[in-house]
Amino acid sequence: MKIATWNVNSLSVRLPQVLAWLAANPVDALCLQELKLTDDKFPHAALQEAGYHAVAFGQKTYNGVAILSRSPVRDVVRNIPAFDDEQARVIAATLDTPQGPLRLFNGYFVNGQEPGSEKFAYKMRWLQALQDWIRAEMALHPRFVLVGDFNVAPEDRDSYDPVGLKETIHHTTEERAHFQALLQLGLTDAFRMFEQPEKSYSWWDYRMLGFQKNRGLRIDHILVSEALKPHVTACAVDRAPRKNPQPSDHAPVVVTLD
């Protein structure tokens, strides 16, 4: 079984790339972030033709998340139930697999703008609310996967310039503490279960030849529960879509479960 996460930075712009990637990489589930479209504009027909059911939680111009799956999903929840939020940032669903139900959370985490700002304070509140919700969900769903654009580079090796960017957004002690708190709930960073090339990133700025110079960050993550950890056989970033004309600034991350 393969599960992927990809911030597409506008599904209306990137739909042909998503369809082409799915044709070449027929994953069982693909979680998308930054749809930037409302639910009535979501391309259900095109995705069904490609063999995927979809549940979405959209928003005009900003945010938006979706789960695409080979088989129908159930028990869909949109946004954090106990957190009042106007932004479409989380969608959760249960996939019925031959090995049993799998609870899949897809999040477009708050960017936070800069430490000390109101947007950063919102990010801290949002992360705490997410953590509390996941703790409760994991008690009900041992087979649990959290994916998405976390907007956090958890370690220095996840940043092209950890010294110059120290304590800037995505690199702050507070953001990294929240990432560690998610791991302490019983989740494991699937990417770090394997030997990876140095300077492995999932996002590169459009400006200043960020991708060409590999000036990137690893901010797109897949975390798996203890029950799934023994079944993870691979996890990698697929850099190929970042080379497309008019690409997203993020690349897909894919985890393989036996």
52 assigned to active site:
no
Catalytic, out of 149, 189, 220, 249: 149
122 assigned to active site:
no
Which two tokens mark 114?
């800069």
Which residues contact residue 58 at a Cβ distance below 8 angstroms, ignoring those fewer than 6 apart? 35, 37, 38, 39, 41, 42, 64, 66, 88
123 by DSSP, 3-state: which?
helix
Q: Please say whether the beta carbons of 239 and 252 come within 8 A.
A: no
Question: What's the rounded Cα separation, in Å, for the pair 181 and 175?
Answer: 10
Which two tokens mark 26?
């027929």
Catalytic, out of 28, 40, 85, 108: 108
Helix, strand, coil shares of the chain, percent, nearest 5, are: 30, 30, 40
Q: Please say whether the beta carbons of 39 and 12 come within 8 A.
A: no
- Residue 138: how many CA atoms within 13 Å on its side-chain side? 21
Q: Please say whether the beta carbons of 92 and 133 come within 8 A.
A: no
What element of type H or E holds 94?
strand 90-97
Question: Which residues participate in catalysis according to the annotation?
Answer: 108, 149
